[in-house]
A and B are shown apart, each in its own frame.
Chain A
Amino acid sequence: MSRQIRRLSFVFALLMVAVLVNITLIQVVNAGDYRDRPGNQRILLAEYDRERGPILVGTDPVARSVETGGTLTYLRRYSNPRLYAPVTGFYSLIYGATGLERTENRILNGRSDIFAVDRIQQLISGRQPVGGAVTTTIDAAAQRAAYLGLRGKKGAVVAIEPATGRILASVQAPSFDPNRLSSHDPNEIRDYYAKLEADPDKPLLNRPVVALNPPGSTFKLVTAAAALSSGRFNPNSVLPGPRTYDLPLSDRELRNWNRQQCGPGGKVTLRDALAISCNTAFAWLGNELGADALREQSELFGFDTSFEIPLRAATSRFPTDPDEPQTALSAIGQYDVRATALQMAMVTAAIGNSGRTMAPYLIQEVRAPDLTILQTTEPEVFADALRPSEALALTEMMVNVVENGTGTNAQIPDVRVAGKTGTAQTGNDRPTVAWFVAFAPAAAPQVAVAVVVEEAGAEEVSGNGLGAPIAKDVIEAVLQRR
């Protein structure tokens, strides 16, 4: 009988080996495949099982994780969801994450290498990592002022602290409710997402940093800067400013917005040309300086560079190799010139910051779960776009725009505001885009702001009419707080 028992034990050994081989197939060989299978909740649960760190505006957590009783332990909640949506983004079961939720994911979920020390403790204790906190540079008052100003419109506002590049406000309209995309109900998420996708106004588009529009007359600041830095022009230089400018090599002509000539006898100083936003003078100036000079100047302000703030901003463009008529149009921010609100805020901030362009950033600091500061963003110089004297001259010209020119709606009592209006055609028969950029106080600016309103009205005045009041509110919000 022993022999039979031995044979049977051999059979059982084979069966055990079969079991072990099968377990190896599941746990090692095919494990990766199984992890990615639809219906496997574990990766998600692991992510939702940890308390995700908050995103802070000042000390106010605008995105935080709250415990639920459901299968998914933590739910992401956004206070003021629409206000901060362009900053926080969403954190969705189905559509992944956007905004800081995406770029700072490893900080927020506690898996970043900067938590190495904590990680060792966690390894020993076997505890789940807890996420770090991300503090933004956003100024709540500025953000709110911009948001209220844009209500009912379509567009974006970006405000920057000129001396540092800190982004004080980043607002879009229309916005969306990240709470509804970050819920635990897949049907609700899908329905809401489909609705947002179908909306022709594209609420999911992060307008402040990715929407590219022709900057129109606000680009005259770049052209003026190029003129000043060329050494050939000063604010008092007299430029031809006729009623129309015959585009070279073509039979088309370019008109001023008010269809008038810019000064007596068609002559206008650079200062006045900026104040009344004289198209013909700037078109002439563009060809006088040349496309390369304009491009160079624009690139010193940040054009043709892709910024990660850490949200990836769309790259603003100055056209490559334009011919003369195209250069003329480019000089007044038309043709193929495209800029984000962020980019125009940078141009404005650089002028206010004695000509020094600062790299923009949205994250002030990163804190560990125990609130010790792990990382602080230091301001970084991007480029010196203008000499201080040239910047000062341009600043005075911009003050003149607000005090005597097209930007009067941005006037603030007892504060010298430097600004520039803009209106751009986005194409034939396409709605215009109204711009307003400004910084204040002119002598030592605390905030530079760019407002873009899409599908505005027709005329140059729309920059003043639609944009300037919003810029003014944002500036006041920042100045009053300090």
Chain B
Amino acid sequence: MLEARGLTKCYASIPAVSDVSFTVRPGEILGYLGPNGSGKSTTVKMITGLMEPTRGEVLFHGANIKHDLLTYKKLLGYVPEEALLYPYLTGWEYLEFVGILRGMDHQLLRKRANALLELFLLFPYRHATIASYSKGMRQRILLIAALMHDPEVLVFDEPLSGLDVTSAMIFRKLVKSLGRQGKIIFYCSHVLEVVEKLCSHLLILNRGKLVAHGSVNEVRSMTGLATLEDSFSHLVQEQDAEQIAHDIVEVMGAP
């Protein structure tokens, strides 16, 4: 079980995330939603152990992750928001690099990496440098690197970014299957439809604070609105989207 208790992160005494608490049990997929700058990425960095919270703690199976961060990282698979990869390595070399640093057995690494490269349709391009990869290909390499050591906890930060329709569909089904397998999944995204279909629970953040927490139905009934999109707009948007769109069209046509 992954648990966040009163997570708070301040930059120069300005809170980016304030008193966020949640629990993700094995088999659960927690959707993490929020507008830009709401503190989503900061939360992700804290639960992946990349950043220490100013206050609060992240517990894995009841123990604070900072007490044995390396063991926690061994059980963690993380797909970051931005596909920052080493452009001079080939796809295969990158996976080999990550696998060795994770301490994977070489035979197992080779077997799994090749199989995943096949399944993610990258096997024919495994010896091309990442510099020549498209955004979607880079994203798929990141997904393979996060999955190949069979982690217990999976943290996805905008994992569909750059994926084509087929790959995105495969990925959505994959996340469902991983959930059924008992993995702990933390899914951070802007795409409301995907979160609505995939996640068993939702957490909505606005300006670093938790504004809604519960199942999709619970969030909808909390706001009394029919769709998740309407509920999300109601909870986090301070501007009238319709009015802004209208204003933009006016500006475009203005002399």
A and B, one complex? no
